[in-house]
Amino acid sequence: EPEVTQTPSHQVTQMGQEVILRCVPISNHLYFYWYRQILGQKVEFLVSFYNNEISEKSEIFDDQFSVERPDGSNFTLKIRSTKLEDSAMYFCASRGTSASSTDTQYFGPGTRLTVL
Partner 1 sequence: SQQGEEDPQALSIQEGENATMNCSYKTSINNLQWYRQNSGRGLVHLILIRSNEREKHSGRLRVTLDTSKKSSSLLITASRAADTASYFCATEKSNAGNMLTFGGGTRLMVKP
> Using CB under 8 A as the criterion, which residues of the chain lie in contact with partner 1 when the complex forms?
31, 33, 35, 41-45, 48, 55-56, 58, 89, 91, 93, 95, 101-102, 104-110, 112
**Would you tell me how many other CB atoms lie within 10 Å of the CB of residue 18?**
11
Closest separation in Å from C-beta 40 to partner 1: 10
- Who contacts 24 (Cβ-Cβ below 8 Å, separation ≥6)? 4, 5, 6, 73, 74, 75
Q: Which C-beta is closer to partner 1: that of 79 or that of 92? A: 92
Cα angle vertex 99, ends 78, 93, to 5°? 35
Closest separation in Å from C-beta 49 to partner 1: 10
Please state, in angstroms and rounded to a whole number, the distance separating the CA atoms of residues 77 and 47.
10
Q: Which C-beta is closer to partner 1: that of 45 or that of 66? A: 45
Closest separation in Å from C-beta 99 to partner 1: 9
Closest separation in Å from C-beta 15 to partner 1: 23
Please state, in angstroms and rounded to a whole number, the distance separating the CA atoms of residues 4 and 107.
6
DSSP at 81: S
Q: Which C-beta is closer to partner 1: that of 20 or that of 44? A: 44
Q: Which C-beta is closer to partner 1: that of 22 or that of 44? A: 44
